[in-house]
Structures are given as structure tokens and as C-alpha cells.
Amino acid sequence: MDGILNINKPAGRTSYSIVAMVKRLSGERRVGHAGTLDPDATGVLPVCLGRATRFTEFLTDAVKAYRAEIELGVATDTYDSAGKVIERKDFSGVSRENLVTALASFRGTIQQTPPMYSALKHKGKPLYELARVGIQVERKPRLVEIYDLELIGWQPPLVTIEVACSKGTYIRSLAHDLGQTLGCGAMLKSLARLRCGVFDIEDAISVAQLEDAFHHGYWRHFVYPPDIVLLNWAAMIVGESTSELIKNGTNIDLAPNPPPDNRCRAYTTEGNFLGVLHFNSANKQWQPKKVLL
């Protein structure tokens, strides 16, 4: 089975445990998720099976949307409610207008410093392992893109926002930085991923539903084809001889005018998905990049 499951991860489960469950129930050896969710977070977790795991990167790179509840006046070492409280401050001076102004400063391309409690590595070790033994290391700020950021709820001390962002964005860091901007400190209280690329929370299947589907043998009805994550790409249909060249990784001559992003998805005349191609401007040929072998 090659495809993608859109799973609504519950709170208290790691992303890895969901992958392990799918691997066990499906019997498929190649299973992986696209974009880790913290154990306390909920929402969209795309899980790729079989040859679809070759296209995980296109989901990881996709725009993601979240609903986050942020608590003002308290800061923790992990930037969320799972951590140890390290500071409490008065938040009573924060108004809705202050929030709107502060949130506006985070829209667009911003510099964000990853939290110490993250899976990023320093000299081969995950930062969270170092943090747990009290070791702090310098983290370089990196550019992330906040495409949309809206205040949808304000019940002091709780702020609810919805945010659409690029890969590599830490909502925990966003909560922490908002608290710093407001001068009262803040932490992420809860987080739900609403969207990951083409996958939406409204269409996600719960773990209980998925387990029932596996038990009764209809789980394949919930599997999306691998190329669903590429539907905004240009597409080309190729003949049998060209199909064989693509499968063998051979550069080919196709349309002389490539799309602006120099990439496309390729299909056989029967409509079977072959893989993705990249146009090499140096030799004016299309190069197979990811092939569904």
C-alpha cells in the first residue's frame, strides 16, 4: 500500500507512537510522518506508507496552520505547559489593543530562535537532552515565514490565535516571544494543527476510527494517493518508452518551456503516477528526482 493517512493525533501521544501503530496494524515496513507534533499537541499528522515515504519532504515543506492557546503572565523552561515555571509576572496591563499590535510585529519574515527543548541537534545531541541536564547552548536565530496570524480569542490571561507558517516555525517560541514583547512573559498552553499542506483537520481520521477501520478491513478507504501533495505542480503525460527512461533515472527531453519552478509530476498514458522531474537548465533536459519504483 502506497499512500498517505491524514490522522488527527490526540493529546498525550507522540508522533512516533502513531507511526508505530500504523506500521503494526498495516504490516507495512516503510511508514513515516510528515512534521512532528509535540506529545501534548493535537491535530493533523500525515502518515506516509510504502513508496509514499519518498515524498514526505514535500509535506514537511508545506504551509502549516495552527490554533494556539497562550497563557500570559507565566514563563516555563520549555515555553509550554509541560515545563517548569521559571517566572510569573503581572499581565493586567495588557489590553486587546496591545495584543493586536504585538501580534502584527510577528507577521511576515521574522527571525526566530528555536527553544532549548527541541529536537534540533548540537554536536550530534538533541537539544532537549542537553536541556534536561541543565546545559544551555547558543541557538542561532533563523528566518521563518508567518503568512497569517490572527487573534481569535482574548479571555485574560488566555490568548487564542490562529497562525499559518512555514516549516521550521516553533509555535512555542512564538508564544514565548509574544510574552517578551508584551513584557509579562507567556507560554503555550495548548496547540492544535489545523492544516498541513493539502490535509485539513476537518478530514482527519481519529486514532479510534483508524483502529476500527484496520480491525474491520476498510482502512484503505482512508489512504490518499502519494501525488495528492503535488496537485499544484505542472503535470506531464509520457509514453511507454519515456516511462521506462524515467524509471531508470535517465534524463529526458520533454516540453521545451518548463514551468517557473522548473518541476513537474509525470504520469503514464494510463494515468499512473511515475514521480517528479526537475528541469536542468544547463542541459535543457528533465531529470527524474523522485520515482515511484
38 is catalytic: yes
Beta-strand pair 186-196/42-49: parallel
Phi/psi for 286 (5° steps) reads -95, 130
| Nearest CA-CA partner of 121 in 145, 140, 102 | 140
Residue from 38, 77, 80, 177 carrying the catalytic annotation: 38
Rounded Cα distance, 43 and 9, in Å: 5
Nearest-Å Rg of the Cα atoms of the chain is: 22
Kindly provide the b/e burial profile for residues 216-241, where b requires at least 16 CB atoms within 10 angstroms of the residue's own CB: eeebeebbbebbbbbeebeebebeee
Q: Which three cell numbers stand for residue 106?
A: 510577528
- Partnered with residue 26 across adjacent β-strands are none
Rounded Cα distance, 63 and 169, in Å: 10
What region, left, alpha or beta, does residue 74 occupy, with left being phi > 0 and alpha being psi -120 to 50 degrees?
beta
Which residues are marked as active site? Answer: 38
